[in-house]
């Protein structure tokens, strides 16, 4: 959170406790890197977990995943609230990182959320540390130790120095926008002048309507064929067209049988879909 990188393989063989309670990390072959923006998102995530705030956790997860469709936010928030209740109101000895990761993976899969690779590397590192922590102190409460850390991060993020840095960065972005705006506007006008601007429309939510129209069309065609078969069989039945069975043309009888089966299947299909 402070420096933007972390040891991604902190198993007991890579950790030493030196005199004076100094922790020494060994073997930096596997490291994770977090950009400033991702660190901010993770800070929001840690704050939400420490405060058991499902809305804040949901917002942080959406930012981390780059999720830009918000029609299912309430469903995601409800599942994350259930996730917090199931996994985060326990001491460390009762928390199972494997179950937690499986549940998180399920949520990501259900809502098609794609987290950055460093997030999963961080999760792996935390899972390894969980094993070490369980050996050293089975009753260790992670969230109780996170709360003062989160308060320190919050103070740092709202400090004058941080606000001045963010304001300076925003001013640079605005300056670049104002510098490039005339040239890009001229380019857009040139494309409009030469008729090279194309608009792309994407229809959403019409799948059910299209499927319903296809079903209606298929049923209408099916009914027309059925009616034609009944009428044709009736006309043939009035003739003495051989071969005959009890003075009835077999072709006409076969037509009636086929039309009866078709009518039965059409009725079953209508009843199955609940639309009479």
Write out pLDDT tens, residues 234-248. Answer: 766 667 667 766 666
Report the candidate in 13, 34, 32 with the shortest Cα–Cα distance to residue 24.
13
CB 111 within 8 A of CB 64: no
Predicted TM-score (pTM) of the model is: 0.53
Which tens digits make up the pLDDT trace of 178-211?
888 888 888 878 877 777 767 766 666 666 767 7
Q: How far is CA 263 from CA 166, 177, 218, 246, in A?
A: 72, 67, 14, 25
Which tens digits make up the pLDDT trace of 14-30?
999 999 989 999 999 88
Measured in degrees and rounded to the nearest 5, phi and psi for residue 248 equal: -115, 135
Contacts within 8 Å (CB) and 24+ apart, 110-114: 110/79, 111/67, 111/72, 111/75, 111/76, 113/61, 113/62, 113/65, 113/67, 114/65, 114/66
In the DSSP assignment, the letter for residue 261 is: H
Sequence length of the chain is 276
Check residue 86 and give its pLDDT.
Answer: 77
Q: What is the pLDDT averaged over residues 45-59?
A: 77
Which tens digits make up the pLDDT trace of 89-131?
766 567 666 567 667 777 777 777 777 778 778 888 877 887 7
Give the three-state DSSP class for 126.
Answer: helix
Residues with Cβ within 8 Å of 1's Cβ and at least 6 positions away in sequence, in order, are 39, 42, 43, 46, 153
Using the predicted structure, report yes or no on whether residue 35 has a pLDDT greater than 80.
yes
The whole-angstrom separation of Cα 66 and Cα 75 is 17
The whole-angstrom separation of Cα 245 and Cα 223 is 28
């Amino acid at each position: 959170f402070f420096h933007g990188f972390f040891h991604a393989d902190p198993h007991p063989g890579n950790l030493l406790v030196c005199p004076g309670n100094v922790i020494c990390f060994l073997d930096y072959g596997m490291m994770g890197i977090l950009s400033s923006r991702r660190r901010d998102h993770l800070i929001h995530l840690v704050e939400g977990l420490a405060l058991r705030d499902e809305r804040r956790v949901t917002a942080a997860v959406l930012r981390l995943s780059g999720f830009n469709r918000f029609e299912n936010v309430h469903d995601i928030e409800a599942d994350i609230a259930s996730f917090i209740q199931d996994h985060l109101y326990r001491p460390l000895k009762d928390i199972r990182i494997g179950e937690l990761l499986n549940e998180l993976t399920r949520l990501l899969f259900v809502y098609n959320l794609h987290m950055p690779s460093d997030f999963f590397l961080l999760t792996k590192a935390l899972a390894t540390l969980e094993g070490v922590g369980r050996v050293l102190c089975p009753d260790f409460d992670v969230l109780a130790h996170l709360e003062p850390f989160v308060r320190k991060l919050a103070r740092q993020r709202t400090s004058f120095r941080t606000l001045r840095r963010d304001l300076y960065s925003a001013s640079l972005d605005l300056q670049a926008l104002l510098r490039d705006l005339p040239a890009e506007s001229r380019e857009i006008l040139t494309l409009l002048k030469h008729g090279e601007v194309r608009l792309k429309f994407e229809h959403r939510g019409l799948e059910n309507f299209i499927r319903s129209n296809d079903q209606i069309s298929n049923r209408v065609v099916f009914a027309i064929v059925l009616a034609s078969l009944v009428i044709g069989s009736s006309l043939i039945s009035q003739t003495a067209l051989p071969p005959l069975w009890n003075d009835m043309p077999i072709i006409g009888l076969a037509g009636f049988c086929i039309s009866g089966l078709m009518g039965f299947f059409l009725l079953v299909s209508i009843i199955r879909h609940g639309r009479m």
